[in-house]
Structure 1
Amino acid sequence: MIKAIFFDIDGTLLSSNGRVSKSTKEAIKKAQANGVLCGVSSGRGPSSLKRIVRDLDFDMFVTYNGQYVYTNDRVIYARSFDQMALAEIVSFANDKSRQLVFGAQQRIDGSLTMRIGDSAIVRRLIRFVPRRFPIRRVKLLLQKYSPNRRKNRYSNLAILNEPIYQCMMFGAEYETQKLIEALPHSDLQRSNPYTVDIVPKGGSKVRGIQFFLADTGINLSETMAFGDHLNDIEMLKVVGIGVAMGNGQEETKASADYITDSHDADGIEKALRYYKIID
């Protein structure tokens, strides 16, 4: 019996118009009425989620790719970067003139370019950027001509006095190995081809989900999760039922127990009906 369901946000809970569809809202409310806990498992942080889930009375929030987990009443798990890992990230971004933001409990700060990129409209548009988008050229232009290209750009940000749970950097998939070598005390999570989420070593959505389940006494076999991108693969593999969206990455679909319709075609509602979570 499924007792808890976790939904990814971008490409899953949100349709391509950047909104939660009526069918999805109604399906989630029906599942909750049937006694199933529903919540998010996302790379986004709490400040970003507020504008998205205001119409949904979610029970739990696994945010920053599992680094900050809370309910409407309390924080269950919070794991921030240690000083060594954070210093590596800051040093790399400063030395390489990279576009980077830092995610604290209730805000993000850093590169203006990245903060604009975290806006709802840009996240919506990025889904339509062609795979042949010249990201290498754009990255080099930003490194060379950014108006904020200055020495130790990130070192004195006030947000660094707060616990930092995740960083988001402009960086393409071809750079993955280089970033792994440059940031040995961090892990990388990716939810799109153009930016990478940097989290504390060993951090993942699964780890955050496990802390929530340990707190509530629910077994992994009693959980369900929906996702579409690479940072959802581990989650879909370990939960009781992993559902990939029809619009998801092929590798993500291959890791799922079930592939539903797309986020624009009532995919969440259809999967919940298929598994008889709702009538």
Structure 2
Amino acid sequence: MIKLVAIDIDGTLLNDKREITENVKNAIQDAKKAGVKIVITTGRPLPGVKDILDQLNLREEGDYVITYNGALVQATDTGEEFIREPLSKEDFLEIETESRRIAVHMHAITSSGIYTANRNIGRYSVHESFLVNMPLYYRTAEEMGDLEFVKMMYIDEPQILDSAIEKLDKEFYEKYTIVKSAPFYLEILNKKASKGNAVMHLADKLGIKVEETMAIGDEENDRSMLEVVGNPVVMENGNPEIKKLAKYITKSNNEDGVSHAIKTYVLEEK
């Protein structure tokens, strides 16, 4: 029996209109009533998922959320942190310096705000601020030295970002967890932070076995959790490379794929 389901948001939980359908809401509620832990697992910070948690009735005692692509695991009712893997001051300085070397926009995110040292603030920093409902601040790199950042992001037009990524040294990938979550987003985290590590840590805390875990995702930043759970599920609209990891392929995000996966493989409705 599956006892924990980790669910990605964009391209998975949400349809292309950025909505959670009634069928998906109902399936999640049915699973929760059956005692299954439903864990929203996202690159967003907590302020960026509160509306979703409210819609899904996942703000009660015993509900958890994985944020910042695994750098934080929090109780949704109190915000209490169970796992926290931030970047160090030295990490920030290295990542910020590297952004200037490879000529790409950058911002860094604390638990309460988004900070950029780019005088010409990138459009995707503004986009992220609206998307996750967090304030955006300009500071020089020196002024940001004492802040604790949970993750940093290289953000730019896809062709500019791809060109910048090609300039990154192999050692950079060995030192940090790096995931491309959108054509214009490259996320950089503490090496210990990943969706996969967070899901496994939470399952262990709750006494849930690997074979009792499921993850549902669609993109490269879901890879780590799909690789470690007992039951990896990929959306029909998912990245072809990510589909190779799947035990099950569910319907697309526009066809209530999360609902189909929960009803078929968790609740085992015929």
- SS of the equivalent of 2:39 reads strand
More strand by share: 2
Note if 1:168 corresponds to 2:157.
no
Q: 1:113 to 1:45 in 2, by over 3 A?
A: same
Q: Distance in 1 between matches of 2:143 and 2:47?
A: 18
Structural RMSD (CA) = 2.3
- SS of the equivalent of 1:191 reads strand
Of residues 188, 192, 202 in structure 2, which corresponds to 1:198?
188
Asked whether the equivalents of residues 260 and 270 of structure 1 are also in contact (C-alpha less than 8 Å), the reply is: yes
Partner of 2:141: 155
Q: Distance in 1 between matches of 2:96 and 2:72?
A: 21
Q: Distance in 2 between matches of 1:117 and 1:271?
A: 31
Q: Distance in 2 between matches of 1:15 and 1:68?
A: 25
Of residues 86, 89, 95 in structure 1, which corresponds to 2:92?
86
Q: Kindly tell me the number of residue pairs found equivalent between the two proteins.
A: 249
Q: Distance in 2 between matches of 1:120 and 1:31?
A: 31
1:7-156 aligned at under 5 Å gives the runs 7-58=7-58, 59-72=63-76, 73=78, 74-110=80-116, 111-118=121-128, 154-156=140-142
Q: 1:173 to 1:259 in 2, by over 3 A?
A: farther
Of residues 253, 266, 275 in structure 1, which corresponds to 2:256?
266
Percent identity at matched positions? 29
- Worse-superposed segment, 47-56 or 29-38: 47-56
How far apart are 1:107 and its partner, in Å?
Answer: 2.4
Partner of 2:244: 254
**TM-score normalised per structure 1:** 0.81
Q: 1:96 to 1:240 in 2, by over 3 A?
A: closer
Asked whether the equivalents of residues 4 and 223 of structure 1 are also in contact (C-alpha less than 8 Å), the reply is: yes
Asked whether the equivalents of residues 30 and 278 of structure 1 are also in contact (C-alpha less than 8 Å), the reply is: no
Asked whether the equivalents of residues 169 and 196 of structure 1 are also in contact (C-alpha less than 8 Å), the reply is: yes
Partner of 2:135: none
Of residues 203, 218, 221 in structure 2, which corresponds to 1:228?
218
Q: 1:174 to 1:222 in 2, by over 3 A?
A: farther
How far apart are 1:60 and its partner, in Å?
Answer: 1.2
How far apart are 1:105 and its partner, in Å?
Answer: 1.3
Runs (5+) with no aligned partner, structure 2: 133-137
